[in-house]
Amino acid sequence: MSFRSGFVSIVGRPNAGKSTLLNALVGEKVAIVTHKPQTTRHRIQGFVNVKGGKGRPPGQIVFIDTPGIHKPDSPLGSRMMREVNSALEDRDLVLLIVDCTQAFGKGDQFALDLLKNTSSPVILLLNKIDAIEKPKLLEIIDRYSRLRSFAEIIPISATKRQGLDALVDNVIKRLPEGPRYFEKDQITDQPERVLVAELIRERVLIETGQEVPYATAVKIERFEEGPRITHISAAIYCEREGQKAILIGKRGAMLKQIGTSARKHIEKLLGAKVFLELFVKVRDNWRSSEVALDELDWRTEVGE
Ligand SMILES: Nc1nc2c(ncn2[C@@H]2O[C@H](COP(=O)(O)OP(=O)(O)OP(=O)(O)O)[C@@H](O)[C@H]2O)c(=O)[nH]1
Ligand SMILES: [Mg+2]
């Protein structure tokens, strides 16, 4: 059977499980995951190589994780939504992922409306089926089928890896004949230092309370691989002195906690011993400044 390949965007509301799904499909952690909405801020590609067999063609799928669909209330939010919109353009397929544990609301309608902008076929993924009863699932299927037509509706659990085989099967069959775009051993378009910055941001999101995480960004300032240890210095940006005080904590306890847990995750990622230095810096209202947003964008970070 001929080799298939193509680009498949994963879109949906914040917290629906897009990044969890990408990681589960790729088999490695390429996108950070937290229980807080609006964790992902930029597009992340993950590559999945598919072995052929039993009526399944061989191929390579480029999945694109995106920020959660929301109504932006800041320049940062607008940029995040630009990432979503561009992920809806010229794709072979779009996967709309829905959190089945949440009641249908305005945000879901907003997401469905946004999909009117895409000319690609849309597959509906009903996620988190591990956490609901069957009658509820049937109710959701019924509701969505009445709202628009989908190329397919597939119930899945990204955390329990249920339904993922059916998903890959379905996706690869719909892709056109095409080349292998990326080397077999490459799993993502994200450079190592961006993955490292994201792992630090993940720890900040998980360790800190309500308001601080959304006001933070992480920038790697030094990344030096030595023979025995990799030295990494990173700045955690926040918007106000009060947030800085929270991030540092009593006698530096919070920053230490973030650093220790981030270091463990980074060492696992790099497969090397790491010396991690973290600084907290205040940059007034960076989320509203186009200049600051440019500087903190990962593409600037890696010099692209
Ligand atoms: N029970 C259950 N929880 C899930 C499943 N998939 C994801 N989650 C949880 O849902 C939360 C959000 O997951 P993410 O993957 O970060 O969601 P996201 O759609 O990428 O969110 P944003 O990046 O904020 O837009 C996390 O706490 C996940 O562990 C699932 O299949 N079942
Ligand atoms: Mg995400």
Q: Is the pLDDT of residue 303 over 60?
A: no
Q: Is the pLDDT of residue 274 over 70?
A: yes
CA dist., res. 211 & res. 36, Å (int): 11
Q: How many CB atoms lie within 10 A of CB 87?
A: 21
Q: Residue 87: its pLDDT value, please?
A: 95
**Mean pLDDT across the chain:** 95
Is the CB of residue 122 less than 8 Å from the CB of residue 87?
no
For ligand 1, atom 16, the nearest C-alpha belongs to 33
- Specify the CATH class of 4-174 in words: alpha beta
CA dist., res. 268 & res. 10, Å (int): 26
Q: Residue 133: its pLDDT value, please?
A: 95
For ligand 1, atom 24, the nearest C-alpha belongs to 38
> What percent of the chain is predicted at pLDDT more than 90?
92
Ligand that lies nearest to the alpha carbon of residue 69, given by its number in the listed order: 1
Q: Is the pLDDT of residue 98 over 80?
A: yes
Per-residue CA distances from 89 to 11, 64, 190 (Å): 12, 12, 21
CA dist., res. 198 & res. 206, Å (int): 12
CA dist., res. 209 & res. 15, Å (int): 17
- 107 burial class (0-12, 13-18, 19+ CB within 10 angstroms)? middle
43 C-alpha to center of ligand 2: Å?
A: 9
Q: Residue 236: its pLDDT value, please?
A: 97
| Whether residue 130 has its Cβ less than 6 Å from ligand 1 | yes
Q: Is the pLDDT of residue 225 over 70?
A: yes
Residue 281, CB half-sphere, CA atoms under 13 Å: how many? 16
210 C-alpha to center of ligand 1: Å?
A: 18
Q: Could you report the per-residue pLDDT of 26-52, keeping only the tens digit for each? A: 999 999 999 999 999 999 999 999 999
> Regarding the domain with residue range 192-301, which homologous superfamily does it belong to in the CATH classification?
K homology (KH) domain (3.30.300.20)
229 C-alpha to center of ligand 2: Å?
A: 30
For ligand 1, atom 7, the nearest C-alpha belongs to 17
Q: Is the pLDDT of residue 299 over 80?
A: no
Residue 254, CB half-sphere, CA atoms under 13 Å: how many? 19
CA dist., res. 67 & res. 280, Å (int): 25
78 C-alpha to center of ligand 1: Å?
A: 22
| Whether residue 259 has its Cβ less than 6 Å from ligand 1 | no
The full set of domain ranges for the chain reads 4-174, 192-301
The closest of 43, 45, 6 to 25, measured between CA atoms, is 45
Q: Which whole number is the average pLDDT over 172-199?
A: 96
| Whether residue 162 has its Cβ less than 6 Å from ligand 1 | no
Strands 217-225 and 59-65: unpaired
Shortest-distance atom of ligand 1 to CA 157: 31
127 C-alpha to center of ligand 1: Å?
A: 9
Q: Which whole number is the average pLDDT over 75-86?
A: 96
The pTM is what?
Answer: 0.96
Hey, which residues does 219 pair with through a beta bridge? Answer: 235
Is the CB of residue 18 less than 8 Å from the CB of residue 40?
yes
For ligand 1, atom 11, the nearest C-alpha belongs to 35
